[in-house]
Structure 1
C-alpha cells in the first residue's frame, strides 16, 4: 500500500493472552509505516511485551494505560490525537478476571471500573478519533446477550440509549451485588454475564447515535466474541483443554479489524464472522 496515511491501532489489556496476540497479529499484518499501541497498567509488563514483539511489520509502541483510572482514556486520546491526528483500529480488551473463589461483593468496585466503566470511557475518548474506514471493537463474549438474563431485567439494557444510561444500570447492578439484593432482583450469580451484556449494550447505544455517519464513512463499531480461549483463568471455570490458543482466537477478530466491512455487523456482537441475536426469539 502506497501513498496512504500510516495507520494507527490501539489495544487495551495487551500484555498477555488475547490482547498480546491481537497486538502481534496487527503488527504482522500492518506495514512498517504503521504503529500499534500495546497498552497495560504495569510499566514493566508493557516493556517486556513490547520487547517480545516481531521485528517485521508495524512498529509496536508501549503505553501505560490503566482503564480503571477515570482520566486515563481521555489523557491517552489527547496524546494519540496530537501524535497521529486519529486512530484506525481500537480493540477494547482490558478485563479484570474473577475466579470461582472470589467474593463478588469484594471485587465489584474494581471489576466494574475495569470491565464496564473502563469500556465506556474508552468509547467516549476514542470513538471520536476513529478515521474513515476505521474499526472500534469491544471484546465481549457470547454471554453478552439478553438470552442469559432474566426477562424482568431485559429493559435495563435493551432500552439504554446512551453510554450514560448503560453506566447508570451497571452502577445499580454493582450496588445490588454489594448490598446483597442482587439475588432477590434476579441477577445471575456469575458476574461475567451482566458485565458482558452491559458491554454489548454500550456498543449498541453508541451505535444508535453514530450509525448513519459511521456507515457513510466506512467505520465499523461492534462487540466481538473470541470464543473459548485456553488461558489459566478460563481453566478455573471450564475445561479448556481443547479450546483455541490466544493466537488462534485472535484471527477472526483481526479479520474483522482489517478486512472489508459487512454493514450487518455494525452495532452487533460478532462471533466468527456472524452477528449474534441480541434478544431471544419472540
Structure 2
C-alpha cells in the first residue's frame, strides 16, 4: 500500500524553537514529505531554509505574517490546491516582549500576533487536516487558570468557539490599552492572559471537533516547551542552565510524530504530561 507524502507547516520558524521544529520534522520525516518553514520576512525565511541540512524531508519556505487578517487563509488555500490537505501544523509565531515594554503601547500588535494570529491559523488549517493529522499550538505553562485571579476565570473557562475567545481577548486588550486593567484583577504581565487565551482557543476548537477528530485519529492540543535558553528569555530570567531550543523541541515534536495519547486531546501538554486547566 502506498502512503501519501506528509505535509507539515510551522509558523514563526525562522529562529529558535520554530526553526528547531522544522529541523526535527525534516530529520524524522521521509524525503517524499514536505515541511513548510514560514515567517513574515522573506529574507529570513530564505536564510532559514538554506540552513536546514539537505537530508530528510524537503523544506520549502513560505511568507506568512499571522498578524495579517487573511494571510493564513490565503496560504491554506495554496496548500489545499497543491496537496489536498495537511498532516502536521505547529503554530509557533509569537511577538516577544521585554521588561521595559509598556503593555499599553504594545498590546495591539502583541494580540494581533499572539492571539488573533493563532485563531486565524486554527480557522484556516483545521479544516485541511487529513486523517491522523496533528494541530499543535505552542503555548506555555502560564496558560492555565491557576495564574489568573478567580474572579476572571469565567472570562476564558468553558468557551466553545473561537469567536468567543476572540471576544474575550478584545475585552482584555482594550482594558490594557485604556489602563483599566491595571486597576482591576488582571495580571500586569501580558503574557499570562495571552497564554491563557491561547489554550482557551485550543480547548474551544477541540470542543467543536472532538467526536470527529477521535474517529479520524486527529490530535488538537497545546504544547508547553518549557524554559529555553534564548536571548529573549534571558531578558526576564537566568536561563544559563535551560535547554536549547533544539532540545526543548523534542517533546513537542513527539506530539506530532508519536502515537496519540487520547488524554492530550484539547489540553495543554508539557513533556508528555497534561497540565491541569483549572486549579
- When normalised by structure 1's length, the TM-score is 0.98
Q: Write the deviation string for residues 5-32 of structure 1: whole angstroms up to 9, x where unpaired.
A: 0000000000000000000000000000
Task: Using the TM superposition, name which of 180-189 and 141-150 deviates more.
Answer: 180-189
Q: Distance in 1 between matches of 2:158 and 2:188?
A: 23
**Matching of residues 147-226 of structure 1 within 5 Å:** 147-226=146-225
Q: CA deviation at 1:236?
A: 0.3
Q: CA deviation at 1:184?
A: 2.1
Segments of structure 1 that go 5 or more residues without pairing to the other structure are none
Q: CA deviation at 1:258?
A: 0.3
Q: State whether structure 2 residue 241 is matched by structure 1 residue 242.
A: yes
Q: Distance in 2 between matches of 1:30 and 1:196?
A: 30
Match of residue 108 from structure 2: 109
Report SS of the residue matched to 1:183: helix
Q: Write the deviation string for residues 93-140 of structure 1: whole angstroms up to 9, x where unpaired.
A: 000000000011110110000000000000000000010001000000
Q: Distance in 1 between matches of 2:184 and 2:209?
A: 33
Task: Using the TM superposition, name which of 153-162 and 35-44 deviates more.
Answer: 153-162
Q: Distance in 2 between matches of 1:95 and 1:199?
A: 11
Match of residue 50 from structure 2: 51
Q: Distance in 2 between matches of 1:84 and 1:185?
A: 49
Q: Write the deviation string for residues 16-61 of structure 1: whole angstroms up to 9, x where unpaired.
A: 0000000000000000000000000000000000001010000000
Match of residue 145 from structure 1: 144
Q: CA deviation at 1:203?
A: 0.3
Report SS of the residue matched to 2:182: coil
Match of residue 124 from structure 2: 125
Q: Write the deviation string for residues 145-166 of structure 1: whole angstroms up to 9, x where unpaired.
A: 0000000000010032110000
Q: Distance in 1 between matches of 2:83 and 2:17?
A: 25
Match of residue 261 from structure 1: 260
Q: CA deviation at 1:90?
A: 0.3
Match of residue 99 from structure 1: 98
Match of residue 5 from structure 1: 4
Q: Distance in 2 between matches of 1:185 and 1:56?
A: 53
Match of residue 273 from structure 1: 272
Q: Distance in 2 between matches of 1:115 and 1:24?
A: 23
Q: Distance in 2 between matches of 1:115 and 1:241?
A: 26
Q: How many residues align?
A: 279
- When normalised by structure 2's length, the TM-score is 0.99
Q: Distance in 2 between matches of 1:256 and 1:164?
A: 26
Q: Distance in 2 between matches of 1:152 and 1:73?
A: 34
Q: Distance in 1 between matches of 2:234 and 2:37?
A: 25
Report SS of the residue matched to 1:182: helix
